[in-house]
């Protein structure tokens, strides 16, 4: 018996969609699974992991920050020494790089005449203070006097010089070396217009044990970082 048009349409619909009850709810179910939110337990676990990681990294970050402060302060001292030396040569007058170990400060002054020193019109004229927790120890050696023109208030001392040569033999008669003495109660490195200056060692450190040593061993060398 021939199949009517209505029966043919029903057959085609069943063939195309054999499970009509499951076809519609399936996309909605998958959408709900795709956008499922975090549970409270999962959020708590994530927060605990983040807290543990922060606790592990924080001490290292604090130490790194403190170390940077020591390094920066040491570089600042080197920059001030380079400025004082260059200005002393270019202006033909004495410059001082002053230190206050009690307050961990340094600043630059220049000779205004007659052995009187005053701050210079520069970024180094103000007292530059070390960051909190950073301290410095300064040791300055007297430089030999090679100039005949000295300020009236300049004090000197005589240092006997042996006549013994490097190989141990005698090389003439013993001599004497004149050294300039620093002004009493002050700690500073003196820069001469000749390019010479006082040998000195500045040790910058903090409470965590990080330290930087800035030094110049001879009157003709430049200050540099020698140890870390």
The predicted-structure confidence for 164-177, as pLDDT tens digits, reads as follows 555 555 555 555 54
- The C-alpha angle with vertex 16 and arms to 12 and 18, in degrees rounded to 5, equals 105
Range of lowest pLDDT (38-47, 75-84, 177-186): 177-186
Residue 159 has pLDDT above 80, yes or no: no
Rg (CA), the chain: 39
Residue 140's H or E segment, with its range, is: strand 134-140
Q: What percent of the chain has pLDDT over 90?
A: 28
Complete domains list, the chain, with CATH: 45-227 (3.55.40.10)
- Which residue is it, tokens 């807290």? 51
Lookup: tokens for 46? 């994530």
Task: Give the pLDDT band (50/70/90) at residue 113.
Answer: confident
Indicate the DSSP class of residue 38: P
- Tell me the average pLDDT across 44-70: 73
Using CA atoms, how far apart are residues 68 and 62, in angstroms rounded to an integer? 10
- Give the burial class of 70: count Cβ atoms within 10 A of its Cβ; 0-12 exposed, 13-18 middle, 19 or more buried: buried
How far is residue 201's CA from residue 195's CA, in Å, rounded to a whole number? 18
pLDDT digits (tens, 9 = 90+) for 22-53: 445 555 555 555 556 678 888 888 888 888 87
Q: How far apart are the C-alpha atoms of 141 and 156, rounded to whole Å?
A: 13
Q: Considering only CA atoms, which of 207, 186, 210 is closest in space to residue 198?
A: 186
């Amino acid at each position: 018996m021939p199949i009517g048009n209505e029966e043919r349409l029903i057959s085609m619909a069943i063939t195309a969609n054999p499970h009509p009850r499951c076809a519609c709810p399936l996309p909605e179910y998958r959408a709900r699974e795709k956008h499922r939110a975090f549970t409270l337990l999962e959020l708590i676990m994530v927060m605990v992991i983040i807290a543990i990681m922060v606790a592990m990294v924080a001490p290292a970050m604090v130490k790194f920050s403190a170390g940077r402060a020591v390094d920066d302060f040491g570089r600042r001292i080197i920059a001030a020494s380079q400025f004082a030396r260059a200005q002393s040569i270019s202006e033909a007058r004495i410059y001082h790089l002053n230190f206050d170990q009690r307050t961990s400060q340094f600043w630059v002054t220049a000779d205004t005449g007659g052995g009187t020193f005053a701050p210079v019109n520069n970024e180094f004229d103000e007292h530059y203070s070390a960051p909190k927790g950073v301290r410095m120890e300064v040791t300055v050696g007297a430089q030999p006097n090679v100039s005949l023109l000295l300020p009236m208030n300049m004090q000197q001392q005589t240092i006997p010089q042996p006549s013994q040569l490097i190989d141990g033999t005698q090389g003439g008669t013993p001599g004497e070396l004149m050294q300039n003495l620093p002004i009493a109660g002050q700690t500073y490195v003196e820069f001469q217009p000749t390019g010479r200056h006082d040998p000195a060692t500045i040790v910058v450190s903090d409470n965590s044990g990080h330290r930087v040593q800035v030094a110049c061993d001879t009157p003709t060398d430049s200050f540099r970082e020698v140890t870390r």
